[in-house]
Amino acid sequence: MTTPTEPMSGDGLGGAGDRPPAGVTVRSAERADLLGVFRVEKAVFTQPWPFAAFEKLLDAPAFLVADGAGTDRGSGDDGVAAGDVLGYVVGDLTPNHGRDIGHVKDIAVRPAAQGQGLGRTLLRRALYVLAGDGASVVKLEVRESNHRAQSLYADEGFDPARRIPRYYADGEAAFVMLLDVDEWARGDDADPA
- Spatial separation of the C-alpha atoms in residues 89 and 77, rounded to whole Å: 22
Site map (CB under 6 A) of ligand COA, residues 35-74, x = contact: ---------x------------------------------
Q: CB of 95: closest distance to ligand COA in angstroms?
A: 24
**151-170: which residues touch ligand COA (CB under 6 A)?**
151-152, 155
Site map (CB under 6 A) of ligand COA, residues 96-125, x = contact: -----------xxx----xxxxxxx-----
Among 187, 88, 86, 90, which Cα is nearest to 138's?
90
Q: CB of 64: closest distance to ligand COA in angstroms?
A: 13
In the three-class reduction of DSSP (H, G, I as helix; E, B as strand; rest coil), residue 183 is classed as helix
Q: Are 175 and 148 within 8 A, CB to CB?
A: no
Q: CB of 154: closest distance to ligand COA in angstroms?
A: 8
Instruction: Spell 25-54 as b/e; 16+ CB within 10 A means b.
Output: ebebbeeebbebbbbbbebbeeebbeeeeb
Residue ranges that bind ligand COA, judged by CB under 6 A: 44, 107-109, 114-120, 142, 146, 148-149, 151-152, 155
